[in-house]
Amino acid sequence: MTPPHPAPGYREALDTLNEALTGDPERPELEFEEMPAPQRLAPFSAALSAAVVRDDVELAVGRLILLHDPQGRPGWDGQYRLVAYIRADLEPEIADDPLIGSVAWSWLIEALDEAGYAAESGTITRAVSESFGGKEDEPATTELELRASWSPAGTDLRAHVRAWTEVMCMAAGLPPRGVRDLKDVR
């Protein structure tokens, strides 16, 4: 059996995904790197990881995976699928808010509106970790995990990368893009 060939737009999708590796001048807190992509999910794939780092503290981490199957897949609504993961520490009072899952999902959907997408799905998880025994002095931690996938409307993925990183920054507690935090104004 002859292995499939990528669709003509795959090179553009890959190139625009990899542009993120050069950084984002509007978001200097973001650190990107290429990572191995899962090989069994689609014939062609690529992946990025990123972290939101401020004052040498990692506030959030994430992965964005591009999947491409020239034949398409059920539920994909096309030949391409983006799979995103974001994990961020939360303040306990924010984690207690019963609407935080809906709010985080709305961040993603609003961020993706500029990009164009279809067939979105995902989950939001809030986790509380408490320490016991020899670790009882460690404070409880709370975190948010977003796992989502969607089909991009085209092969230029710049706006999709921007949407993913914007949600990651918001989950990390940074102000929206273009808004300056007053404590940063000197």
**DSSP output for 71-118:** T--TTTSSSEEEEEEEEEEE-HHHHT-TTHHHHHHHHHHHHHHTT-EE
> How high is the pLDDT of residue 90?
82
Q: What is the pTM of this model?
A: 0.88
- Rounded CA gap, 87 and 95, in Å? 13
One pLDDT digit (tens) per residue for the chain, 186 residues = 555 788 889 999 999 999 999 988 889 999 999 999 988 899 999 999 999 999 999 999 999 999 999 998 999 999 999 999 999 988 777 777 778 889 999 999 999 999 999 999 999 998 878 888 888 888 877 889 999 999 999 999 999 999 999 999 999 989 887 776 555 555
Per DSSP, the three-state class of 27 is coil
